[in-house]
Each structure stands twice: as C-alpha cells, then as structure tokens.
Amino acid sequence: MDSKDVKAVELQLGRPPRGLRGVAHRCPCGLPDVVETAPRLPDGSPFPTLYYLTCPRAASAIGTLEGSGLMREMQARLAEDPELAAAYQSAHEDYIARRDKAAEQEGVEPLPRDMQSTGGMPTRVKCLHALVGHELATPGVNPFGREALDRLPEWWADGPCVAAPPSD
C-alpha cells in the first residue's frame, strides 16, 4: 500500500492502522475511505473485519443513521422478506469468500467458519459502518449497505476529511 495512503488512514483513524492490505474504495475526494485488512493480524489473532471504513465524516453520518432507528427497521424487514434475507445471505457468503481469499493470499489460516462475517450478517443488522464498507468495496453486493449508503449525505462535499499527506 502506498505510504501516502497509509498516512491518510492513520490520520483518519487517529492511530496506526493494523493489518492493511490495500485501499478497497476511495472517497470522491481522492483519499481512502475503506481499506481491506488481513483476516489475521501479524501476531496471528483473528481480525474478521475485511473492509474497514476509515473516513471519519462517513462514519459520523452513518452513526446518525444508526441513531435514527434504521437498523431496527432493517432487522424487521429482514425477518419478513425472504428475498431480502436471501440477498443478505449472499452478501454474507461473498464476504466470507473474499476474506478466505485474503487469508490464502496472506498465507495465513482462514478464520473459523462460525466466526461472524461483518455487521451482523447473515441474520442480524448490527453495524451499518461495516455494511456500508462492504458495499463501497464491492458495489451491488450488500443490500443493507447499499440502502444505508443511499441515505447518506455527500460526506466528501466539504473536501477531504483530513489533510492529504505529502508525497514521498
């Protein structure tokens, strides 16, 4: 990963990032807003979040959505709509397959099959940050990530969330 991107992510998170594999999505401002992380950290401990949302403005806007009760509404629809449940199950399977591929590429043991994928998938709607990160990284895959993303304001409209680091 480019050192400028690593520095930008560090500024976004307020700490050094862990297990970075690359930029999974760029904000319209040009900075990373979702990174791909390794399924295991360098010490071997599991890190199930393959796609990690890093932009603090996007994260704040998503927090507002979470506070609005949207997840409860989504959870109720998940229980009532078999087609939506099937799409969410597919999103879960996509996430697991991509995480397993990342483990293979990293030369590490894949995470256990019973470990969560992200955001509560496939039976719960637990974290819109994770679901939006998945949808940004793999457009068209995560129905709740897409729905939340469509409800967000243009978080990038006021310019980058952090000052772009200088080039090396």
Give the three-class secondary structure for 63: helix
Residue 29 inside a domain? The answer is yes
**Distance, CA of 6 to CA of 165 (rounded, Å):** 9
Residue 159 inside a domain? The answer is no
Percentage of the chain beyond pLDDT 90 is 90
78-115: b (≥16 Cβ within 10 Å) or e: beeeeebbebbeebbebbbebbeebbeeeebebbeeee
Domain, as residue range, for 62: 3-151
Q: Residue 50 contacts by C-beta under 8 Å, 6 or more apart in sequence? A: 36, 37, 39, 95, 98, 99, 102, 118, 134
Q: Tally the domains of the chain.
A: 1
Residue 164 inside a domain? The answer is no
Residue 11 inside a domain? The answer is yes
pTM for the whole thing? Answer: 0.94
- Highest averaged pLDDT of the listed ranges 64-68, 109-113, 161-165: 64-68
Percentage of the chain beyond pLDDT 70 is 98
